[in-house]
Amino acid sequence: MLIFFLVYLGGLLTIFSPCVLPVLPFIFARSDKSFFRNGLPVLLGMAATFTLLASFAAVGGAWLVQINQYGRYAAMLLLLFLGVALIFPALSDRLMRPFVTLGGRLEQQADKEGSLKGSLLLGVAVGFLWAPCAGPILGLVLAGAALNGANLYSALLLLVFASGAATSLALALFAGGRILKLMKRGLGAEQWIRRGLGIAVVVGVLFIALGWDTRVLSQFTFLSTATTERQLVSKLTTKPEASNGTTTSSMPPLAGATQWLNSPPLKSEMLRGKVVLVDFWTYSCINCLRTLPYLKAWNEKYRDQGLVIIGVHTPEFAFEKEQHNVAQAIHDLGLTYPVAMDNQYAIWNAFKNDVWPAHYLIDVQGMIRQKHFGEGAYQETEQMIQLLLKEAHHGEEFRSEGFVHVSGSGTTAAATDMERSSETYLGYGRQQNFASPEAIKQDVVAQYSSPGSLKPDQWSLNGKWIISTEEVVLQKSGGAVSFRFQGRDLHLVLGSHNHKPVRIKVTLDGIPPGADHGTDIDAQGYGVIREQRLYQLIRQRGKNATHTFSIKFLDAGAEAFAFTFG
């Protein structure tokens, strides 16, 4: 709600822009006439024109999303241009001069027309004349909204911004000259606010260009948004029951998804008469990946008999908000059922969920009949699927044919029952068991070293790194991360900060892993980081024991987020 308030306030304050002053005397001249035949048409004409012009900014924001995937420098250039336009009003005025000229002509025509038509034309003129003042700010707002992959969200921001502008104009119509005097006193402050925002944007772009940021355009903030959102949700909502099992409560709405993949948007009401399995997951979560072979098998077996599986992708890390990353993961994992991108935690919040993975089974009446948190209990879940489908078919024409038999491979293979180390995060937001002798320096470049030895479940950095809320980012080639772990498998969520391939070299107890290498490296321990995801680096063939793992990065720019084990 805070962002909507700020956007509304931004629209409200655009009336203090100097470029709108020339048209206000014409508006005040009509303030003594009927509001419905004069004032209201002005507001409608202004809102329609303003929306049309702002739509170009929205298109630019959508274009920026694609550029973020393939050409970060072009995206930074666009943001730099918008920032400079805020700092230097003359540049913005020159760029928008054709719109101002058109607005002036429409203003003259409005004065010649009759009451209703003239008021509409005057509103259109106001929309054009307002564009030079609101354009750069609104472009930044919509570009930021588009980076979250939220088309509806962007539209709502645009509507709220236009509402703020219309409100300020309505106040001017009712208050007349008093508002005009107040506006004149506020012009200097408005200019400095715009310039301050422009300077902040330019500084931010320079930080990215110099490699000082901890996330590229997908996290153009000073905070870890995914972590903050998850913490806020956990505080503001009631956590789910600690135990798995049957339950009876209504299915919450599926509203608030920022994007739907493999399907048009779905609503809870549309699913009545179907048995629904809602799976909360995220593509870098090893526990989630291990459940996917069963979900895929159930979808294949029961889809034609009335089962609908919906994956709700709720991100844990900022890079999991990017539509391109999620779409690529869905393709690579072979998922064909609908997936809702829940970047704002709207569906997660509605279900009062707090874990990955989590499965909710809903009957044909829209009632949640079973919950299960975490891996396992696949036969019990399939039994409930069969029961709910039998209820839906009234016991007729339903073929259960026993239970599915699946065997995952790579990262989707089931975990072992052996003792294993716990999931470990590297960013300072949830960091634990860090063993480098140097004190952590948050969000700045610092040199770290490995101790002589590591105790079980301890890890260390070696080299020049930035430790941020979610991840550690290597600043110079040759850096390494080490971990003293127990378990069959070792996975590490990795990425490339500069979107360039990063070569890696893995050792196990100081030697190449050989037959114990994971799917993302070879027997000599070599591999390449190409995208942000979970990498399987070790899969041991021998008995369970404690080993020292080390990964050396042969190129700068590597990102490391979290260790998981199997």
pLDDT in tens, 383-408: 999 999 999 887 666 667 789 999 88
Task: Answer whether residue 219 is part of any domain.
Answer: no
Task: Answer whether residue 218 is part of any domain.
Answer: no
The confidence score (pLDDT) of residue 61 equals 45
**Tokens 């080993």 belong to which residue?**
547
SS3 161: helix
Lowest average pLDDT, out of 63-67, 484-488, 504-508, goes to: 63-67
| 254 and 339 share one domain | yes
Res 288 pLDDT > 60: yes
Higher pLDDT, 76 or 13: 13
The confidence score (pLDDT) of residue 379 equals 94
At residue 241 the predicted structure's pLDDT band, cuts being 50, 70 and 90, is very low
Q: Per the confidence metrics, is the pTM higher than 0.75?
A: no
Task: Answer whether residue 458 is part of any domain.
Answer: yes
Nearest-CA neighbor of 339 among 357, 314, 312, 316?
312
At residue 501 the predicted structure's pLDDT band, cuts being 50, 70 and 90, is very high
Please write the tens of the pLDDT for every residue from 309-343: 999 999 999 999 999 999 999 999 999 999 999 99
Task: Answer whether residue 240 is part of any domain.
Answer: yes
Task: Answer whether residue 163 is part of any domain.
Answer: yes
The confidence score (pLDDT) of residue 148 equals 44
Task: Answer whether residue 220 is part of any domain.
Answer: no
DSSP letter assigned to residue 351: T
Nearest-CA neighbor of 254 among 326, 351, 320, 335?
351
The confidence score (pLDDT) of residue 269 equals 92
| 252 and 363 share one domain | yes
Helix %, strand %, coil % of the chain (to 5): 50, 20, 30
Please write the tens of the pLDDT for every residue from 154-190: 556 666 777 777 777 677 666 655 555 555 555 455 5
User: Which two structure tokens, joined as six digits, stand for 504?
Assistant: 């890696």
Check: CB of residue 379 under 8 Å from CB of residue 306: no
The enclosing H or E element of 289 equals helix 286-302
| 245 and 378 share one domain | yes
The confidence score (pLDDT) of residue 130 equals 54
The enclosing H or E element of 60 equals helix 40-70
| 232 and 179 share one domain | no
Range of the domain at 205: 2-213
The confidence score (pLDDT) of residue 374 equals 94
| 396 and 451 share one domain | no
Task: Answer whether residue 486 is part of any domain.
Answer: yes
Lowest average pLDDT, out of 97-101, 347-351, 403-407, 509-513, goes to: 97-101
The enclosing H or E element of 459 equals strand 459-467
| 326 and 459 share one domain | no
The confidence score (pLDDT) of residue 409 equals 87
Distance of alpha carbon 124 from its chain centroid, rounded? Answer: 35
The confidence score (pLDDT) of residue 315 equals 95
Check: CB of residue 45 under 8 Å from CB of residue 126: yes
At residue 77 the predicted structure's pLDDT band, cuts being 50, 70 and 90, is low
| 486 and 373 share one domain | no
The confidence score (pLDDT) of residue 118 equals 56
pLDDT (mean) for 4-9: 72
Res 273 pLDDT > 50: yes
The confidence score (pLDDT) of residue 566 equals 87
Average confidence score pLDDT of the chain? 77
Check: CB of residue 372 under 8 Å from CB of residue 366: no
Check: CB of residue 199 under 8 Å from CB of residue 83: yes
The confidence score (pLDDT) of residue 408 equals 85
Return the ∠ at Cα 150 (arms to 530 and 348), rounded to 5°: 85
Contacts of 97 (CB under 8 A, 6+ apart): none
Please write the tens of the pLDDT for every residue from 403-456: 999 988 889 988 888 889 999 999 999 999 999 999 999 999 999 999 989 999
Res 239 pLDDT > 90: no
Task: Answer whether residue 419 is part of any domain.
Answer: no
Count the domains in the chain. Answer: 3
Please write the tens of the pLDDT for every residue from 110-145: 444 445 555 565 566 555 555 545 544 454 555 444
Domain endpoint, select from 385, 412, 439? 412
Report d(CA 273, CA 303) in Å as an integer: 13
Domain endpoint, select from 169, 187, 213? 213
User: Which two structure tokens, joined as six digits, stand for 413?
Assistant: 């293979």
Domain endpoint, select from 412, 442, 471? 412
Check: CB of residue 149 under 8 Å from CB of residue 343: yes
Report d(CA 375, CA 416) in Å as an integer: 12
Res 21 pLDDT > 70: no
Res 230 pLDDT > 70: no
| 432 and 398 share one domain | no
The confidence score (pLDDT) of residue 98 equals 61
**Which CATH number does the domain housing residue 533 bear?**
2.60.120.260
Percentage of the residues of the chain whose pLDDT score is greater than 90: 49
| 85 and 152 share one domain | yes
- For residue 461, which amino acid is it? L
User: Which two structure tokens, joined as six digits, stand for 524?
Assistant: 């000599």
SS3 357: coil
Q: What is the number of helices (H) and of strands (E) in the chain?
A: 14, 18
At residue 513 the predicted structure's pLDDT band, cuts being 50, 70 and 90, is very high
Report d(CA 44, CA 119) in Å as an integer: 9
Check: CB of residue 288 under 8 Å from CB of residue 376: no
User: Which two structure tokens, joined as six digits, stand for 343?
Assistant: 């970047």
Check: CB of residue 337 under 8 Å from CB of residue 310: yes
| 192 and 330 share one domain | no
Contacts of 16 (CB under 8 A, 6+ apart): 183, 186, 187, 189, 190
DSSP string, 121-174: HHHHHHHHHHHHHHHHHHHHHHHHHHHTT-HHHHHHHHHHHHHHHHHHHHHHHH
Res 217 pLDDT > 70: no
**Tokens 């870098």 belong to which residue?**
284
The confidence score (pLDDT) of residue 145 equals 47
Higher pLDDT, 399 or 541: 541
The confidence score (pLDDT) of residue 543 equals 75
- Cis, peptide link before residue 357, omega less than 30° from 0: yes
The confidence score (pLDDT) of residue 12 equals 72
| 440 and 380 share one domain | no
The confidence score (pLDDT) of residue 182 equals 57
The confidence score (pLDDT) of residue 82 equals 57
| 198 and 231 share one domain | no
